[in-house]
Amino acid sequence: MTIPLVTRALRGPSAKNFLWLIGDRSVRLVVAVAMGGWTARYLGVEDYGLLNYGMAIIQILSAISLLGMEGLAVREMLRTPDLVGKWLGTVIGFRLIASLGCAVLAIITATVLRPDQSRENLIVAVLALGLIAQSFESGELLFQSRACLRKLIPARICLFLILTIVKIIFIKSGCSVTWFAALTAIEQGLGGIITFAFARKELGLGRVMMFSIRDGMGLLQSSWPLAISSLAIIIYLKMAQLLLKNMMGDGSLGIYSAGIRISDSANFLPTALSTVLLPGLMQRHKQGHEEYQYGMMRFLRISVLIAYTICLPVSIASPFIVHLLFGPKYMDAVPVMAIHIWSLVFIFLGIARGQHLITERKTSLSLLFNVIGLISNLLMNLAFIPKLGIKGAAIATVVSYAVSNLAASFVTPSTRQIGRMQILAILTPWEALRPEPKSS
C-alpha cells in the first residue's frame, strides 16, 4: 500500500527518484529483516546482543564523521552546478579525516571502558575499519543533487545480495560473531568504493574532485549544529541499547535488538523521502512564501502517510512477526516491536522539519531540539528501564522522539508555525493524495 499511495502524492522526477531509492532500500529492508531473524536465531540472544552493542558504538561515531555537511553540500551543488567536483571532493575529504579520528576513538573507548572484554573490543575494532571506508559513500550526494540515483542503485543492490549470500555461508559454516562483524565492515567498505567509482564516472572527464580546506571550513561553520544534532539523534536512538547492555546484560539487549529490528531497518524511509523532495522544496522556496508553505505541508503529510501505513500493521502483527522471524526464544520482544515502531511517525516529522531548517538557514535550532530529545530520552530510560525493563526502553524512545521532533517545535517562536503544520499533518495525512493545484 505505501508505495502506490506515495507515488500518487509525488509527481514527476521526484516520484521516479523516490521509486528507485525505495526499490533499493526495500530490497535491503526485506532481506535485512529476514537475515536479521536468521542471524539472531543462529547467534543466540547473548552474541546477537554483543554484535548490536558494537554496531551501536560505531553508529554513534558514524554520525560524528558525517559532520552535518551532506544536506548543505547538496544545497551548494544545486546552487553552483559548475562546482560540484569541488563540493564533492571537499565533503569526502573532510568525512575521511573525521572517520579516521572516530575509528581511533572507538577502539580507545572500547578498550578503556571494558579492558577485560577482548571479544567485544575486537568486534568494535573490526567495525571501526568499515567506518573509514564508508566515507566514500558521500559520493552519493552527486546523484542526489542530479536526481539520478538509478545510475548507482543497481550496483549497490548486487553488492548487498552477494554479501547476503556470504552471510548465509557463514551461518552454514558455523562462524563466530566476529566474522559477522567483519562482514558488516566489508559491506561498508565495498559500498563506499563502488559509490565513489560511480560518482567519479558521473562527474565526467572534464571535471575533477577537488579538496578545499577553505570551502570545507565554510561548510563546517554552518553544519556544526547539524553535526551535533545528528550525534544527539543517534545517541538517543542507541542509548537504550547501551543502557540495557550495562543494566540488564547482553541477553536483554539481544531481545530488545530483535524488537526494534523492523523500525531500525525502516529508518531509511524518511531520509529517502527527504532526499528526493529537498531539491523541489528549495525550488518552491525561491518561488515565494505561499508556494513554499504548500510544498512543506505536502512534505509533512506524505511523511505521516508513509509512517501510518507501516506502523499500524507492524504494531498489530508484532506477535506473528517476532515468532516468524526470531522464534520462541525472542517472544519477549513482541511489546518492544509493537511500541517502538511508532517512533517512525516522529522520525519522519523530525527529518521533514530538519529540511525546513536547512532551507530557512536555521540549522542552529536543530541542536536545541535534539539536545532536548537527548536529555528527555536519558531521563526516561533511567526511570523506565528499572521498572519496565526492555518495554520501558521502547516507551522512552518513542516519547523522547515525540518531545524532540514535535513538542520542541513550539519552544521557539520561529518554529511554532511548522509545529502547527506537523500536528495538522498527523490529523489529516490523506490530504497529500489530493491532486496538486495547477496554479502551484
- Of the CA atoms within 13 Å of residue 239, those in its CB half-sphere come to 28
Residues 59 and 47 sit within 8 Å (Cβ to Cβ): no
422: pLDDT strictly greater than 90: yes
Residues 133 and 189 sit within 8 Å (Cβ to Cβ): yes
Q: How far apart are CA 394 and CA 392, in angstroms?
A: 5
SS (H, E, C) 275-325: HHHHHHHHHHHHHCHHHHHHHHHHHHHHHHHHHHHHHHHHHHCHHHHHHHH
Q: How far apart are CA 379 and CA 411, in angstroms?
A: 19
Q: How far apart are CA 281 and CA 168, in angstroms?
A: 42
Question: Which one of 8-12, 64-68, 196-200 scores highest in mean pLDDT?
Answer: 196-200
Instruction: Count up the domains in the chain and report the number.
Output: 1
Residues 20 and 150 sit within 8 Å (Cβ to Cβ): yes
Q: Is residue 151 part of a domain?
A: yes
Place of cell 502547527: 420
Q: Is residue 307 part of a domain?
A: yes
Domain hosting 85: range is 2-433
**How many CB atoms are closer than 10 A to CB 80?**
11
Q: What is the pLDDT of residues 131-144, one digit of tens each?
A: 888 888 888 888 77
Please state, in angstroms and as integers, the Cα–Cα distance from residue 38 to each residue in 96, 185, 251, 287, 403, following that order. 33, 19, 17, 51, 35
Please state, in angstroms and as integers, the Cα–Cα distance from residue 198 to each residue in 97, 137, 152, 194, 373, following that order. 21, 10, 7, 6, 37
Q: Is residue 103 part of a domain?
A: yes
As given in the structure block, the three cell numbers for residue 104 are 581511533
Q: What is the pLDDT of residues 137-174, one digit of tens each?
A: 888 888 777 767 778 888 888 888 898 899 899 888 88
As given in the structure block, the three cell numbers for residue 200 are 567519479
Please state, in angstroms and as integers, the Cα–Cα distance from residue 34 to each residue in 261, 265, 324, following that order. 10, 11, 9
Q: How far apart are CA 414 and CA 396, in angstroms?
A: 28
Confidence of residue 17 (pLDDT cuts 50, 70, 90): low
Q: How far apart are CA 376 and CA 384, in angstroms?
A: 12
Q: Is residue 440 part of a domain?
A: no
Q: Is residue 438 part of a domain?
A: no
Helix axes 12-65, 2-9, angle to 10 degrees: 110
Q: What does the radius of gyration of the chain's CA atoms come to, in whole angstroms?
A: 21
Q: What is the pLDDT of residues 86-106, one digit of tens each?
A: 888 888 888 888 888 888 888
DSSP letter (8 states) at residue 436: P
pLDDT given at position 264: 79
Residues 346 and 406 sit within 8 Å (Cβ to Cβ): yes
Query: Which long-range CB contacts under 8 A does 313-321 form with residues at least 24 apart?
Result: 314/262, 314/263, 314/338, 314/341, 315/339, 315/341, 315/342, 321/262
DSSP letter (8 states) at residue 203: H
Instruction: Give the CA-trace dihedral at 331, 332, 337, 338, to 10 degrees.
Output: 100
pLDDT given at position 278: 67
111: pLDDT strictly greater than 90: no
267: pLDDT strictly greater than 80: no
Q: Is residue 94 part of a domain?
A: yes
Please tell me the total number of residues recorded for the chain in this structure: 440
pLDDT given at position 335: 92
Nearest to 281 by CA among 269, 299, 302: 299
Percent of the chain exceeding pLDDT 90 equals 10
Q: Is residue 439 part of a domain?
A: no
Q: Which amino acid is at 402?
A: A
Pick the more confident residue, 110 or 314.
314
**How many CB atoms are closer than 10 A to CB 242?**
16
Confidence of residue 41 (pLDDT cuts 50, 70, 90): confident
Q: How far apart are CA 384 and CA 388, in angstroms?
A: 6
Residues 139 and 194 sit within 8 Å (Cβ to Cβ): no
Q: How far apart are CA 197 and CA 57, in angstroms?
A: 28
Nearest to 74 by CA among 87, 65, 90, 86: 87
Q: How far apart are CA 267 and CA 341, in angstroms?
A: 10
